[in-house]
């Protein structure tokens, strides 16, 4: 059985990011982004998807959280893309709902090779912890683009923004768990014969 792992590094004047993923892991997370709330969300994403994620970032947090959130998502998405390889023998599609108290989120994933994010989180606060709410949305958008996946995430209801954001990450995790699962076939799950 071929290992589905990848390590990606990105270094710019704004950030230095390294991500390692194992699609067949046990949900072990080791995030260190400099943003406590983002670390909390990456931990939830890893734990509930079953994907091992080691994500390290040194970013220009003296400016703000934008570059760190964006580049972490880009590197993590690229690592997921590389670990998937030709995307042979994967389920490809995944969908899930996740509640957190009063909040309910839905995520639908297609490992299509065609990046398209549709993200509606209905966040009302300017920040959640040390992350701007707009950068939570931007994280999902960047992740979808870099992983070459179609991603729809919607918060269906909720009053507490922390709950809405966390439910969104958990719903994505559950959908990813389905989508990356081995199908038992060596085929590319596409009528085109390719997901690239």
User: Per-residue confidence at 189, pLDDT binned at 50, 70, 90?
Assistant: low
User: Per-residue confidence at 183, pLDDT binned at 50, 70, 90?
Assistant: confident
The mean pLDDT of 76-89, rounded to a whole number, is: 94
For residues 140-173, one letter each, b for 16 or more C-beta atoms within 10 angstroms of the residue's C-beta and e for the rest, the string is bbbbbbbbbbbbbbbbeebebbbbbbbbbbbbbb
Q: Is residue 111 within 8 Å of 194, Cβ to Cβ?
A: no
The residue with greater pLDDT, 28 or 193, is 28
User: Per-residue confidence at 186, pLDDT binned at 50, 70, 90?
Assistant: low
Predicted structure pTM score: 0.94
| Structural domains of the chain ordered from first start | 5-179 (3.30.230.40)
Model confidence pLDDT, tens digit, residues 137-169: 999 999 999 999 999 999 999 999 999 999 999
DSSP H/E element including 195: none
For position 170, what pLDDT does the model report? 98
Model confidence pLDDT, tens digit, residues 26-53: 999 999 999 999 999 999 999 999 999 9
> Interhelix angle for 133-147 vs 161-179, to 10°?
10
Task: Supply the mean pLDDT for the chain.
Answer: 94
């Amino acid at each position: 059985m071929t290992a589905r792992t990848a390590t990606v590094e990105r270094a710019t004047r704004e950030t230095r990011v390294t991500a390692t993923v194992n699609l067949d892991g046990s949900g072990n997370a080791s995030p260190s982004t400099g943003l406590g709330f983002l670390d909390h969300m990456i931990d939830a994403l890893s734990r509930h998807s079953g994907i091992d994620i080691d994500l390290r970032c040194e970013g220009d947090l003296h400016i703000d959280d934008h570059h760190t959130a964006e580049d972490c998502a880009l590197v993590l998405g690229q690592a997921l893309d590389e670990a998937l390889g030709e995307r042979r023998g994967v389920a490809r599609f995944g969908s899930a709902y996740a509640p957190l108290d009063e909040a309910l989120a839905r995520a639908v994933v297609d490992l299509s090779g065609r990046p398209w994010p549709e993200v509606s989180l209905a966040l009302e606060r300017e920040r959640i912890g040390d992350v701007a709410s707009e950068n939570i949305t931007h994280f999902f958008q960047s992740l979808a683009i870099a992983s070459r996946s179609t991603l729809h995430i919607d918060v269906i209801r909720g009053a507490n923004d922390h709950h809405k954001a966390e439910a969104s990450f958990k719903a994505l995790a559950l959908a990813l768990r389905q989508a990356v699962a081995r199908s038992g076939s060596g085929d590319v799950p596409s009528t085109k014969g390719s997901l690239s």
